[in-house]
Structure 1
Amino acid sequence: MAIIIGVDVGGSHVSSAAVDSESFKIVSDTYFCGPVDCMASKEIILQKWAEIINETIDVIEKNQMISENETIGISFSMPGPFQYESGIAMFKGNNKFEALFNVSVSDELLKYIKNKNVNFRFLNDASCFGVGSTLKQISGSAHEKVIAITLGTGFGATFLDDKLPITQGLNVPNNGCLWDKPFENDIADNYFSTRWFLKEYENASGEIATDGVKEIAGLENHSTAKIFDNFADNLTSFLSPYIINFDADLLVIGGNIAKSYKLFLTKLEENFKSRDIDLTISIVDETEQTSILGSSYLYNDVFWERIKDELPNF
């Protein structure tokens, strides 16, 4: 396939773009993004996803990027819990897309896609982000052992060895996930997500931030500086054992919280250095586009053969 459509499904949005399968770059004028109410009905969620995907398909067809009878490969960067091999959503008890629980996205979404000659493939959103970030590495400076995390409404993570997401083994956590792993008296997702920042800010100031981490970061006062320092300390303590065990040489950070990296990156680097952890840290601003690129790699034949029988169900 010369052209692949990559789709990034977020908790509050969906984005879609055509990717050139040879250069693995997003094709100009094919990127579209729109809001999605993750608590809406099954029909509305699927219609919103299809609406954005159909915009990309319109541009592809209008510019004759595919032949008339060519199958369009559509690859999804999809949050869990999800059965990635079968395409069945397992969202339940996580305050997002619960109307899709036990729904075959492959079957139901097709009803709303304008071109029925399509093929769907799915991969965890954190894994897609990780794969995309490795594809964007500068030639000659590639890292083989990579941990990629996304910091936003949730805490995503993936462990990659030579671009391949690793989900099982002695040197990675179960399912290659970190969000559900214990930290302090809770799980990691409640420490490395927007929720933690909002709670900490309210405790420190008595006020409620209505514009998320962006608003907190913009204040740049002593209280917010302390919040970001505590965040860096927590992230160091949590990640260090996993970095050492996996022998990672690169940590990639994306997500909306990563946009405030100037408030925590230096502290994070100092913390790792003080623990004798030799690690490069890379901040990725364009998380959605990077995830789209990573998802499109599912249609790379060699990569697909390596990963298709090991797609996680979580």
Structure 2
Amino acid sequence: MKNIAIGVDVGGSHISCMGFDLENQQLLPDTFSENCIDNHAMPNAIIQAWGTVIKHSIAKIGVNNVAGIGFAMPGPFDYLNGISCFNGQNGKYEHTYGMNVRERLTEFLNLSQPVKIRFINDATAFALGEAKFGKAKTYKSILSITLGTGFGSAFIKNGVPVVHGNEVPQGGCLWHLPFENSVADDYFSTRGLINRFEQKTGYKCEGVKDIVALCGTNTDAKQLLEDFGEKMASFLHPWIRKSNVEVIVLGGNISRAYPLFGKSLKSYFNSVDLRVDIVVSDLKEKSAFMGSAILIDNKTYDTILPVLQKM
């Protein structure tokens, strides 16, 4: 019986995937597969890299059990038709521009019976996973924030992504909105923290974990993360009010530093009399696996299809 969907999480430097039992609504950890990616490679090399990782999971699952493959894919991307829109502006996968990923992967996988391949934005996949299986599953109105190399976001209402209307920014995305002298993505991201710490101290860290490690003894590091929380709250609060958000779910690598920026985040919300719950994901990338895998369930896909047409 074809009841296993494969959830695929495509990152800027890696790809990973895992099987998901659609009937029992459970991930299958033994089917996990991953590999590093050169995101500046030519299209054939990228399809081979993506396809090889997926083939490894298929081998563990058994091809006759695979119902389909769901992709959590960064943008810009034509999620409905499976076509790459990476034009080089975000510095990755620029050579795939215009490529029909669905067709190319179907050809590469060369399965005896072609399977459904469906796509959704990676931040939205994470949000769907959290809304259905994670700490946000008891809430109706959710704002998911992924903090890492970029500033990902998704608004979920009653289990469905919201990407248009007066309550959310266009596309449900926050990363491109103006903040201070640039856009939010430049501030609430790994590079934003690293750059501001270097400006303050003259020391360039390799990653946020280096800054976190210094917080016990370095006042600049501690203040930087407190500022991160306060400024993020000030940026988010108008949209939280507009969308009547009940809970914020935080994911991504920077969310691990929540103990260092959470207090200032909550303090700002309290100062503007905003009541919203804040949780940090326990599922992490597993949410993206689940949120993309459930696309293969036709009933779920039908509810999300109108949203994909507007992404």
From the superposition, tell whether residues 312 and 151 of structure 1 become closer, same or farther in structure 2 (CA, over 3 Å): farther
TM-score (norm 1): 0.93
Q: Provide the residue aligned with 1:144 in structure 2.
A: 140
Letter in 1 for 2:150: G
Q: What is the identity percentage for the equivalent residue pairs of Structure 1 and Structure 2?
A: 36
> Structure 1: how far apart are the matches of 2:52 and 2:222?
41
Shift in Å at residue 303 of structure 1? 2.0
Give the secondary structure class of the aligned counterpart of 2:17.
strand
Q: Provide the residue aligned with 2:80 in structure 1.
A: 85
Letter in 2 for 1:80: G
Greater shift, 142-151 or 115-124, is seen at 115-124
- Does residue 179 of the first structure (1) align with residue 170 of the second (2)? no
> Structure 2: how far apart are the matches of 1:76 and 1:22?
19
Shift in Å at residue 207 of structure 1? 1.5
Shift in Å at residue 313 of structure 1? 5.7
Q: Tell me if the contact between 2:124 and 2:154 (Cα under 8 Å) persists in the aligned partners.
A: yes
Q: Tell me if the contact between 1:54 and 1:114 (Cα under 8 Å) persists in the aligned partners.
A: no
* Cα shift readout 1:205-258 (whole Å, capped 9, x = no counterpart): 212112x11111111121111110111111011100000000000100101111
Q: Tell me if the contact between 1:85 and 1:313 (Cα under 8 Å) persists in the aligned partners.
A: no
The aligned runs of 1:199-218 (5 Å cut-off) are: 199-210=195-206, 212-218=207-213
Q: Provide the residue aligned with 2:127 in structure 1.
A: 130
Q: Provide the residue aligned with 1:299 in structure 2.
A: 296
Q: Tell me if the contact between 2:135 and 2:279 (Cα under 8 Å) persists in the aligned partners.
A: no
* Cα shift readout 1:20-55 (whole Å, capped 9, x = no counterpart): 112322113111222112122222222111121111
The aligned runs of 1:33-44 (5 Å cut-off) are: 33-44=34-45
Aligned length: 306
Q: Provide the residue aligned with 2:33 in structure 1.
A: 32
- Does residue 230 of the first structure (1) align with residue 230 of the second (2)? no
Match of 1:191 among 187, 190, 194: 187
Q: Tell me if the contact between 1:232 and 1:265 (Cα under 8 Å) persists in the aligned partners.
A: yes
TM-score (norm 2): 0.94
Letter in 1 for 2:234: S
Q: Provide the residue aligned with 1:55 in structure 2.
A: 56
Q: Provide the residue aligned with 1:74 in structure 2.
A: 69
Give the secondary structure class of the aligned counterpart of 2:53.
helix
Unaligned runs of 5+ in 2: none
> Structure 2: how far apart are the matches of 1:75 and 1:136?
17
Q: Tell me if the contact between 2:134 and 2:281 (Cα under 8 Å) persists in the aligned partners.
A: no
Q: Provide the residue aligned with 1:113 in structure 2.
A: 109
Give the secondary structure class of the aligned counterpart of 1:27.
strand
> Structure 1: how far apart are the matches of 2:296 and 2:116?
10
> Structure 2: how far apart are the matches of 1:12 and 1:192?
19
> Structure 1: how far apart are the matches of 2:271 and 2:24?
40
> Structure 1: how far apart are the matches of 2:67 and 2:147?
31
> Structure 2: how far apart are the matches of 1:115 and 1:262?
47
Letter in 1 for 2:264: K
